[in-house]
């Protein structure tokens, strides 16, 4: 059994942990326990699950100091950021408690028996039910909010699905400590083993998605990782959904009047957005379109000053550091020029210098428009707003597309560019920056390939839909129906005979 290694990206030290890579026999037992645990998650009901989700949030927060310190030593992300991320992770569990109590997510519908143009129609009742055990593959860049204690785990549990997380090799101890926090809350709530489990090692990840007991998988990672998991899934006789959030360039368009009105403010915002967390966010803006005019010059000059005087960024691991350095070099070879980059002593860890690169719009190519994970932005200088539509089509579809405009910008042009971006992203940001993803009901974190492979979000209330499937009951006796589908249950919104009926609030609520 191979010991799991942890690496401190701040100084590059590697050491063996007490954890070992999960072999196939143990993995089989873990999935079997997960399959059995599904019953408990259903039996406790929506309100019971909501309580468990809140207990998990409490448990995570009660271990904040240990979790944050562990994550800092494994990710190099600073304490303020990790502290905030843990708050976000707890918030996600609490939000899903609200979602589950609200009950609208089950999409309950009742069609009473009725005469139809095709004869007598039977009584039909439909709601969404859990898919079964879900495999979760967390991301390197969010050791809490997109990892063991992340949104995939929270939404799958909320749906009623047991979760088996494959720990990210970049933060095994954080993963283990997060799992312990979750597992202890589940146990205190009376839950059996297997409600949330954890496995270690790449081979275990592949075995996991091939296991017949696993009914869905969720990944936040690279296109390469998604292809490897999909290849493993394709070996199954029964395909299962893989929800993958992958790669995103997140173009930002600064229109001339915006640059004229607030060049310094936009430079400040762009700098914070592309360098925060070492630029290691899936929503990091990788391309900014800035006008080739005096206002645009001022904006780029202000950005240049900020970058030139910035410090180094410690990246998450050696692979990401190497990819960043080779990506930066590739951009230069492809014709983007380095506009600002401080000299940084990398030390023994995975520290790099942020980079501002520039290219004239006519020289924008697919290579330059490709994602480079880390603290780098390419500013694309354009002469005419009319050039932007075609240029945006060379940018790969992304999670987000942003547009900054001012009072003097042509409204029709703005509308046209928004249409182009809307066809190629999942979230349109106006006069703002794509980083800092609000966790809420109306959030959508997803987009056309290659940003994701799905028509569902991985952040926010509706991400629960990924782990549910519809089930219909035809002419069922009342006692066999789930309570959500009985005639007298009015505590959740339901569609009855085609008409949406909001929940009737109970008096003691």
Alpha carbon 200 to its chain centroid, in Å, reads 21
Is omega for the bond preceding 450 within 30 degrees of 0, making it cis? yes
CB half-sphere exposure, 57, CA atoms < 13 A = 22
Give the DSSP H/E element, type plus range, for residue 254.
Answer: strand 252-254
Closest to a second copy by CB, 86 or 357: 86
- Shortest separation between residue 346's beta carbon and a second copy, angstroms: 32
Which residues are CB-contacts of 163 (< 8 A; sequence separation ≥ 6)?
34, 133, 134, 135, 136, 152, 153, 156, 157, 195, 196, 197
- Shortest separation between residue 1's beta carbon and a second copy, angstroms: 34
Closest to a second copy by CB, 248 or 351: 248
Which residues are identified as catalytic? Answer: 245, 282
Which residues are CB-contacts of 23 (< 8 A; sequence separation ≥ 6)?
1, 204
Q: Are 147 and 174 in contact (CB under 8 A)?
A: yes
Region label for 51, one of left (φ > 0), alpha (ψ between -120 and 50) or beta (otherwise):
alpha
Q: Are 113 and 119 in contact (CB under 8 A)?
A: no
Closest to a second copy by CB, 163 or 361: 163
Q: Determine the Cα–Cα distance for residues 436 and 273; give it in Å rounded to an integer.
A: 9
State the sign of the Cα–Cα–Cα–Cα dihedral 68, 229, 280, 390: negative
- Shortest separation between residue 267's beta carbon and a second copy, angstroms: 19
Q: Any idea what the Cα angle at residue 339 is, between residues 336 and 341, rounded to 5°?
A: 115
Ordered DSSP codes for 116-175: ETTEEEPPEEEEEEE---EEEE--SS-TTTTSTTSHHHHHHHHHT--EEEEPPTT-HHHH
Alpha carbon 193 to its chain centroid, in Å, reads 27
Closest to a second copy by CB, 171 or 444: 444
DSSP-based three-state secondary structure for 17 = strand
Q: Are 446 and 462 in contact (CB under 8 A)?
A: no
- Shortest separation between residue 254's beta carbon and a second copy, angstroms: 15
- Shortest separation between residue 305's beta carbon and a second copy, angstroms: 26
- Shortest separation between residue 144's beta carbon and a second copy, angstroms: 13
- Shortest separation between residue 272's beta carbon and a second copy, angstroms: 13
Closest to a second copy by CB, 4 or 159: 159
Task: Name the token pair of 464.
Answer: 């629960």
Tell how many helices (H) and how many strands (E) occur in the chain.
13, 23
Closest to a second copy by CB, 344 or 503: 503
- Shortest separation between residue 49's beta carbon and a second copy, angstroms: 18
Q: Determine the Cα–Cα distance for residues 79 and 140; give it in Å rounded to an integer.
A: 16
Closest to a second copy by CB, 83 or 293: 83
Give the DSSP H/E element, type plus range, for residue 188.
Answer: helix 172-188
The residue with tokens 């929270």 is 154
Task: Name the token pair of 201.
Answer: 């090692």
**Pick from 146, 132, 286: which is nearest to 211 by CA?**
132
Closest to a second copy by CB, 1 or 471: 471
């Amino acid at each position: 059994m191979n010991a799991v290694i942890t690496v401190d990206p701040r100084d590059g030290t590697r050491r063996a942990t007490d954890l070992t890579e999960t072999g196939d026999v143990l993995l089989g037992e873990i999935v079997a326990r997960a399959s059995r645990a599904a019953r408990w998650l259903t039996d406790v009901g929506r309100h019971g699950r909501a309580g468990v989700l809140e207990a998990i949030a409490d448990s995570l927060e009660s271990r904040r100091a240990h979790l944050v310190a562990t994550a800092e030593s494994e990710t190099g992300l600073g304490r303020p950021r990790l502290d905030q991320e843990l708050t976000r992770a707890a918030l996600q569990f609490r939000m899903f408690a609200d979602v589950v109590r609200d009950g609208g997510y089950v999409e309950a519908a009742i069609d009473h028996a009725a005469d139809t143009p095709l004869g007598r129609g039977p009584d039909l009742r439909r709601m969404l039910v859990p898919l079964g055990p879900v495999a979760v593959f967390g991301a390197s860049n969010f050791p809490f909010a997109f990892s063991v204690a992340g949104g995939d785990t929270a939404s799958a549990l909320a749906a009623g699905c047991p979760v088996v997380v494959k720990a990210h090799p970049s933060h095994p101890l954080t993963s283990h400590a997060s799992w312990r926090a979750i597992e202890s809350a589940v146990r205190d709530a009376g839950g059996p083993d297997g409600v949330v489990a954890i496995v270690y090692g790449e081979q275990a990840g592949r075995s996991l998605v091939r296991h017949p007991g696993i009914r869905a998988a969720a990944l936040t990672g690279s296109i390469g990782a998604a292809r490897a998991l999909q290849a493993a899934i394709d070996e199954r006789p029964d395909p299962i959904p893989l929800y993958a959030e992958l790669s995103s360039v997140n173009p930002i368009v600064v229109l001339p009047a915006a640059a004229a009105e607030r060049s310094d403010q936009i430079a400040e915002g762009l700098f914070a957005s592309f360098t925060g967390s070492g630029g290691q966010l899936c929503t990091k803006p990788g391309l900014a379109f800035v006008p080739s005019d005096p206002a645009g010059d001022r904006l780029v000059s202000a950005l240049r000053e900020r970058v030139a005087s910035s410090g180094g960024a410690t990246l998450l691991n050696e692979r990401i550091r190497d990819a960043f350095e080779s990506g930066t070099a590739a951009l230069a070879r492809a014709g983007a020029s380095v506009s600002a980059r401080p000299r940084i002593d990398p030390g023994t860890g995975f520290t790099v210098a942020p980079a501002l690169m520039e290219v004239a719009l006519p020289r924008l190519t697919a290579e330059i428009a490709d994602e480079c994970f880390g603290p780098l932005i390419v500013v694309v200088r354009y002469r005419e707003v009319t050039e932007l539509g075609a240029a945006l089509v060379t940018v790969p579809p992304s999670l987000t597309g942003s547009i900054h405009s001012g009072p003097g910008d042509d409204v029709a042009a703005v509308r046209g560019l928004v249409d182009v971006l809307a066809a190629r992203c999942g979230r349109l940001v106006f006069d703002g920056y794509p980083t800092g993803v609000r966790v809420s009901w109306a959030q959508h974190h997803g987009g056309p390939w290659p940003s994701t492979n799905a028509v569902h979000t991985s952040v926010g209330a509706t991400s629960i839909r990924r782990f549910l499937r519809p089930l219909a009951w035809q002419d069922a006796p009342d006692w066999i129906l789930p309570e959500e589908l009985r005639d007298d249950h009015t505590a959740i919104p339901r569609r009855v005979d085609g008409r949406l009926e909001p929940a009737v609030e109970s008096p003691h609520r």
